Chain A
Amino acid sequence: AQSVTQLGSHVSVSEGALVLLRCNYSSSVPPYLFWYVQYPNQGLQLLLKYTSAATLVKGINGFEAEFKKSETSFHLTKPSAHMSDAAEYFCAVTTDTGRRALTFGSGTRLQVQP
């Protein structure tokens, strides 16, 4: 079985500040990890994914995430927040076993203050 924990349902940062959204996973087999972003009234859009190649993964819109096996973490970062980054962010895990479904965290809503 696999699971994801996202610490902090709401995160608020100032424009230009560092964005850090936390994700910890649990999996009994090697995981694949994803970050999705959901803008208001829209579907989910892939930001980036880890599929066992490089541990530091770069995504769209200046986001990146680092897979740390020892910490079972896959935190999402962006050096400088922009107003357009305000959205809800979901971390998800899957594996190549069983029904190969994405298991999502509960989401983190990011607010960017001017």
Chain B
Amino acid sequence: EAQVTQNPRYLITVTGKKLTVTCSQNMNHEYMSWYRQDPGLGLRQIYYSMNVEVTDKGDVPEGYKVSRKEKRNFPLILESPSPNQTSLYFCASRMTGVTSTDTQYFGPGTRLTVL
């Protein structure tokens, strides 16, 4: 089954404790992206990757890091989480980064709470 998977689905942590949210897709997609969803703000892009070893900032990159060493994986790293990073996070992928008309597929989400 074609899908985007994220782990963990739920995470409660404390300020300053480094964490990683994993994302994996099995569709051989080139383009991958991380979003955060906050009430009343919709989804905002954190980082994206056009292909392996090619990553760039989205609209709200502060406090986050990413890496793309393999085509299927795109982990999101919070080096020193803060309470304002409490949010619902989505990973997404689409076939190519060249054209925007391809459908973007979303993972099930990771609900992060930073105390």
Contact = CB atoms under 8 A, between A and B. Distances in A.
Interface of A: 4, 9, 32, 34, 36, 41-46, 49, 51, 90, 92, 94-96, 99-102, 104-107
A44 B42 contact: no
Given A99-B58, A101-B33, A101-B58, A106 B101 contact: no
A101 B45 contact: yes
A46 B42 CA distance: 15
Contact of B42 (A49, A51, A90, A96): A90
Contacts of B43: 44, 90, 92, 102, 104
5 contacts: A43-B4, A46-B104, A94-B100, A95-B100, A106-B42
B100 A96 contact: yes
Query: Which 7 pairs between the two chains have the least Cβ-Cβ distance?
Result: A104-B42, A43-B106, A94-B100, A51-B101, A44-B106, A100-B100, A104-B43
Contacts of A106: 40-42
Contacts of A102: 43, 45, 100, 104
A43 B104 contact: no
Contacts of A36: 106
Given A101-B45, A106-B40, A32 B106 contact: no
Interface in B23-56: 31, 33, 35, 40-45, 48, 56
Contacts of B4: 43
Nearest to B38: A106
Contacts of A44: 43, 90, 92, 106
A4 B109 CA distance: 22
Contacts of B92: 44
